[in-house]
Structure 1
Amino acid sequence: MSTTVNPSGAGTPAGAGGAHLKGMARGGGLNLVGAVCNQAALFGIMAALAHVLGSADVGRYAECFALLSLLGLVSLAGFRSALTRFVAIHLADDDASGLRGTVRLGLGTTVAGATVLGLGLAAVAPWVADYFHDPQMVTGIRLVALTLPAATFSDAALAATQGWRTQRPFTYIGRIYEPVVRLALTAAALALGAGLVGALWALVIGAWTAAALAAWSLYRRMRLAPQADPVYRIREITSFSMVSWLSALAATGLIWAGTVLLGNLRNAQEVGVFNVSTRLVMLAVFVMAPINAAFSPHIAHLHHTGQSAELARTYGSATSWIVRLSMPAFVLLVVFPGELLRVFGHGFRTGAAVTVILAAGQLVSAAAGPCGTVLTMSGRVWLNMVDNVGVLILDIALSLWLIPAYGAVGAAIAWSTALVVANLAKATQVRFTLGVAPSGAGIGKALLAGVPAVAAAMLVHRYVPGWLPTLVVGTVVVTVAYLAAVLLLGLSQDDRTMLSALLRGRGRIGRIVAGRTSTPGA
């Protein structure tokens, strides 16, 4: 059964025909391409800084990036999720007035907040640097202040475009253009001897040019909506946004709490080791963000239109593909942590234990699937907020206890413990508040397929000499063993539906890049 598209871009329910699975597959596939570019760029930036400048400057860059991420969430005030959810709902209801009011309210509030915060941060930069016991960070903090308004606007505008159930602007601008430009400019700055300050100027330029592209992309979609006077449903949107904001702030705080506390309780070198290990682990779960992003507008649409069975089906498919695509990387992280860290140089080998501990926590997060997204997009955002705030408090308490004695290892234990608690709580709440559990056997099959991959990796680790040959041979062997196990265990009908949509989408992506189609998207 096909989906009928109306002029606003909304679609009627697809029922059992799997149209939402196909749409999610196309959007998720496109997002995966963007996620690869994004993670490769971030990896390249950290590797370049590590080799050219050393672990201390890697730590300073990470601290500045953490500050930008935290203040960006403060500026967004929860409108990232609100814009995606309410734009999707207004399109489903053909409510042009609500659509225009929501977009204007979201962009105006976030940009104003980011501008005020940026000016304030620039003024107090010396005091913030004192917190990190590092006066060399003053310039970097002021460059973060300059980046903040642009990064916030870009996030808000791209979140709004996702309400059209398309991932193209989000991926092309936010996940490909901005990180790739930042990597290129960082490499040029380091080659010219501009050092850490040059790398942070690359952050500024990338953010402002991406903001201009995001503005143009949102404008193109808004001008296709029917003309109508904007209606500002302030109470409904802001109540959702404020709770979502607290939830997102706590979730981001969970990511960066270890970095911030390490910078205060230990030193920049330990921050550098912790962040290199974190970057490696995030490479394993890079698929979570693009799949969640593709999943979000569909979950809002399915819940709003009362399609519970299709929701459970889509939830199960999203979870199984997160685990499937992440599993080979988890195997490599657990068996070859020292070899992976050698890519960054000799000074980071102490992060092997940190990498394994972080990988264990993220594996549980992957197996739980997009449970937090389900809570938020179904309107249970307050539950997600309570979970995130609770586990952030747990993470901070554990970090304050463990970091003074164990440094980066203590920060990793705290973070992984908090991740496990958070995801178990959210998966349970989705089951009992919505009556929805991820359907299908894909998750169990993905975990089972990891067993022969681990065995193969351990054989390589034992018998192949040298860290680089071990890493190269291990990557090939793990990939082959895992894919063979996946094929032997078999794919479900939903898996085949999604793969078919992805394969058909390859030609479409090429036409999009060439500018030869304007079909409403993935």
Structure 2
Amino acid sequence: MNAIAPLAAQLKARFRSGSGRAVLWSFAAAVAARLGHLVLAVLLARQLGPTSYGTFTFATGIAMLAGQMSSLGWPILMNRLMPGLLKDRNWSRLKGLRNAGDAVVIISSLVVAAFLYGLGTALSELENGFKLAALLTVPLALTLLRRQQLAAMGRAAIGLMFDQGFGAIVLVIIILLWGAVTVEAAIVQYACATGIGIVITTILFRRGLPRELASVRPSYELRVWAAMALPMIIGQSAKLLMHKIDILMLAPLSDLHEVGLYGAAFRVTYLLSFPQVVLMSVFTPLFSQAFTNRNIKGVRRILKWSLLFACVTTVPAAAAILLVPELVMGGVFGPEFREAAPTLAVLTVAQLAGTIAIPYSAVLMMGGRERAFGAWNFGALGANILLCFLLIPAYGALGAAYATLVSALFLMIGQILLSRPLLSLPRQA
């Protein structure tokens, strides 16, 4: 009990604070967003069937990756610089950063969208998927920018909701009210809903900025800002590709039917990890504080409770899925998706491994081993790509699932081993 009391007191204080309430709102926003995406996946899969739903999954997956990569790290830069500029009341630099962020993201995402459209023209088999992805790239890039800007102002829950859930929820309402939809209409409506969300978040962001910005001239430091932003997106590139490489490789190495089966199965398992992802926004600062104080016992105690929470929130649901994967796929998405039951089972185990790895990721990042963490991520990405080349042509969606499982286990084991030196008590203790 004596070991539990300090952590319990820290968590209680954290949840009672303004940051704790913000985390609770972020948790609620994440729940709504993921449920919205799951309901959308069910409706579209039942209406479109595996092949057309595969086109939707491929297009949205490419667009999300393109939107994040084309932002060139500027959304993360906003989260890093804006709080300091607001605190220092440096209005001219803040205005310049705001203007430059909008210009860079719009121009770069337009260039990437044009490239995707041209790629669709060149690749006839995937033409529809790439052209639909081009339509979504700019809205998704701007949505990510607004999310990080709102987070930098202490309004993370609003940004999270509009970044992940708003477009899906609006599209769900449209389908429920007007019935059948084609994949092209679904993408157009999704893009329009995302555009409405951008308008709303832009208004909220602008109104939340200090009034003094209206009367000052912007100050620009484009070279400095670009030099800071680019390494951020490079550092995240392995993680971004890891989440989407299966979809990227399934379509050209197999077909869109397999993409639809894989996308539906993955959407179910996507729900397993979100409690841990959200709660780590509370535990990660605690890890940082414990490392700063060289309190290794505290780090180990926080890790223990993080892992316990991961098991409590994930293992029962995963066990239920593993018992009846055919019932889940057929009952939720329709009889055409029953063949994806083995894929669902493999992805469920992969998600379990990923959930266990999340606390160790925080330990590595807060403990100063982010370079080793990044290198291991790139190694896992390389293994994933190699396995996709080997397994997808023969096994389709199931092959992609096995590639994901192996890379997830590789990441989990590697992060556990890399964390061991940080968790070792000093000899004098």
1:221 aligned residue: 208
1:334 aligned residue: 322
2:5 aligned residue: none
| Corresponding letter in the other structure for 2:191 | V
> 1:371, 1:233 → 2: CA distance?
36
> 1:427, 1:225 → 2: CA distance?
49
SS of 1:53 mapped into structure 2: helix
> 1:101, 1:403 → 2: CA distance?
47
Shift in Å, 1:63: 0.7
1:54 aligns with 2:42: no
1:396 aligned residue: 385
2:185 aligned residue: 198
Aligned residues: 411
1:417 aligned residue: 406
Q: What are the residue-to-residue correspondences of 1:141-160 with 2, within 5 Å?
A: 141-160=130-149
Stretch of structure 1 that moved more, 415-424 or 364-373: 364-373
1:68 aligns with 2:54: no
- 1:374/1:202 CA distance change after superposition, 3 Å: farther
Shift in Å, 1:114: 0.8
> 1:371, 1:89 → 2: CA distance?
29
1:269 aligns with 2:257: yes
| Corresponding letter in the other structure for 1:419 | A
1:114 aligns with 2:114: no
- 1:249/1:150 CA distance change after superposition, 3 Å: same
2:270 aligned residue: 282
- 1:332/1:57 CA distance change after superposition, 3 Å: same
1:181 aligned residue: 170
Greater helix percent: which structure? 2
Shift in Å, 1:238: 3.8
Stretch of structure 1 that moved more, 193-202 or 152-161: 193-202
1:253 aligned residue: 241
Q: Is the 8 A contact 1:291 1:322 kept in 2?
A: no
| Corresponding letter in the other structure for 1:264 | P
Q: Is the 8 A contact 1:99 1:230 kept in 2?
A: yes
> 2:189, 2:35 → 1: CA distance?
16
- 1:299/1:16 CA distance change after superposition, 3 Å: closer
Shift in Å, 1:211: 0.9
2:427 aligned residue: none
SS of 1:287 mapped into structure 2: helix
| Corresponding letter in the other structure for 1:278 | F
Q: Is the 8 A contact 1:186 1:198 kept in 2?
A: no
Residue in structure 2 matching 1:210, options 194, 197, 207: 197
Shift in Å, 1:168: 2.6
Q: Is the 8 A contact 1:299 1:374 kept in 2?
A: no
1:408 aligns with 2:408: no
| Corresponding letter in the other structure for 2:269 | V
- 1:166/1:409 CA distance change after superposition, 3 Å: same
- 1:242/1:157 CA distance change after superposition, 3 Å: same
1:170 aligns with 2:165: no
Deviation digits for residues 10-49 of structure 1 (CA, Å, limit 9, x no counterpart) = xxxxx96964454554333222322222222222222222
| Corresponding letter in the other structure for 2:78 | L
1:503 aligned residue: none
- 1:243/1:73 CA distance change after superposition, 3 Å: same
Shift in Å, 1:100: 4.6
Shift in Å, 1:195: 1.3
Shift in Å, 1:282: 0.6
| Corresponding letter in the other structure for 1:204 | A
1:483 aligned residue: none
> 1:123, 1:318 → 2: CA distance?
46
Residue in structure 2 matching 1:291, options 270, 279, 304: 279
Q: Is the 8 A contact 2:283 2:306 kept in 1?
A: yes
Unaligned runs of 5+ in 1: 1-14, 438-522
1:29 aligns with 2:24: yes
> 2:366, 2:232 → 1: CA distance?
10
- 1:420/1:229 CA distance change after superposition, 3 Å: farther
| Corresponding letter in the other structure for 2:399 | G
Shift in Å, 1:281: 0.7
- 1:26/1:397 CA distance change after superposition, 3 Å: same
SS of 2:262 mapped into structure 1: helix
SS of 1:77 mapped into structure 2: coil
Shift in Å, 1:415: 0.8
- 1:116/1:47 CA distance change after superposition, 3 Å: same
Deviation digits for residues 463-507 of structure 1 (CA, Å, limit 9, x no counterpart) = xxxxxxxxxxxxxxxxxxxxxxxxxxxxxxxxxxxxxxxxxxxxx
- 1:164/1:316 CA distance change after superposition, 3 Å: farther
Residue in structure 2 matching 1:43, options 38, 41, 53: 38
Residue in structure 1 matching 2:358, options 369, 376, 380: 369
| Corresponding letter in the other structure for 1:348 | F
SS of 2:274 mapped into structure 1: coil
- 1:178/1:195 CA distance change after superposition, 3 Å: closer
> 1:315, 1:225 → 2: CA distance?
44
1:353 aligned residue: 342
> 2:342, 2:191 → 1: CA distance?
34
1:241 aligned residue: 229
1:519 aligned residue: none
Deviation digits for residues 356-394 of structure 1 (CA, Å, limit 9, x no counterpart) = 211112212212225446666788665444333222111
Deviation digits for residues 269-299 of structure 1 (CA, Å, limit 9, x no counterpart) = 1111111111111121132443356667x57
Q: Is the 8 A contact 1:284 1:326 kept in 2?
A: yes
1:468 aligned residue: none
Q: Is the 8 A contact 2:59 2:130 kept in 1?
A: yes
Q: Is the 8 A contact 1:392 1:418 kept in 2?
A: yes
- Structure-2-length-normalised TM-score: 0.82
- Structure-1-length-normalised TM-score: 0.69
Q: Is the 8 A contact 1:37 1:179 kept in 2?
A: no
- 1:164/1:123 CA distance change after superposition, 3 Å: same
- 1:242/1:88 CA distance change after superposition, 3 Å: same
